[in-house]
């Protein structure tokens, strides 16, 4: 049986949240998209404070800015600046068959994964023109479903994440590790 190493992306192999970093990069570059900030902030409160809407609903409202930018140019320029956020420990340990599974949008991670020669990327399918999700957010149990669909007949040798929301993947891995900054701890040693 083939064994793979599987990694979450944000705050695991990337220092920070790439989606938030890209959002603020675009706000700075395109001040006219500030017109969406009040609505985005309202939906942020509805999701994170009042628990009145899903994370997907909030993110779709946030991604409205995609309709007003040059995505390919902005992604290229964003990764020129932010590729330094890929953690050194990952660069030293990466393998050609690594799998990245992330809730971040596929369109956002695809360029950097290509540059890093990471062939296997599973992420949230967000339409880059509309900001709408095409399917479920790749989070929690959904990561396990997508992993099993894409890599049936394989096992996870080592799994790395910064978040307990990834416990479903940790449970099916032979070894699971929690990443705190540059520290890598066995999963129960949080």
Residue ranges of the domains in the chain? 2-15+85-186, 20-76
Residue from 126, 153, 158 nearest 139 by CA: 126
Residue ranges in the chain modelled with pLDDT below 70: 189-190
145: three-class secondary structure by DSSP: helix
Residues in the chain: 190
Q: What is the pLDDT of residue 189?
A: 60
Q: What is the pLDDT of residue 167?
A: 96
Q: What is the pLDDT of residue 59?
A: 95
Burial (CB count within 10 angstroms: exposed 0-12, middle 13-18, buried 19+), residue 78: buried
Q: What is the pLDDT of residue 190?
A: 46
**CATH no. for 2-15+85-186:** 3.40.50.1000
Is pTM, for the whole model, over 0.75?
yes
Q: What is the pLDDT of residue 159?
A: 98
HSE-CB at 49 with a 13 A cutoff on CA atoms is 6
């Amino acid at each position: 049986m083939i064994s793979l190493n599987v990694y979450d992306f944000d705050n695991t192999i990337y220092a920070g949240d790439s989606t938030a970093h890209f959002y603020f990069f675009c706000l700075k570059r395109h001040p006219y998209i500030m017109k969406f900030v009040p609505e985005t902030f309202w939906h942020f409160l509805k999701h994170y404070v009042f628990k009145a809407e899903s994370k997907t609903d909030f993110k779709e409202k946030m991604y409205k800015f995609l309709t007003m930018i040059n995505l390919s140019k902005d992604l290229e320029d964003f990764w020129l600046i932010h590729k330094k956020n890929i953690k050194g420990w990952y660069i030293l340990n990466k393998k050609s068959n690594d799998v990245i599974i992330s809730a971040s949008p596929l369109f956002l991670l695809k360029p950097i994964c290509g540059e890093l020669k990471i062939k296997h990327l599973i992420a949230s399918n967000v339409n880059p023109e509309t900001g709408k999700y095409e399917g479920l957010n790749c989070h929690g149990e959904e990561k396990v479903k997508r992993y099993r669909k894409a890599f049936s007949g394989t096992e996870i040798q080592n799994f790395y994440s910064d978040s307990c929301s990834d416990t479903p993947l940790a449970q099916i891995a032979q070894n699971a590790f929690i990443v705190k900054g540059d520290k890598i701890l066995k999963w129960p040693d949080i």
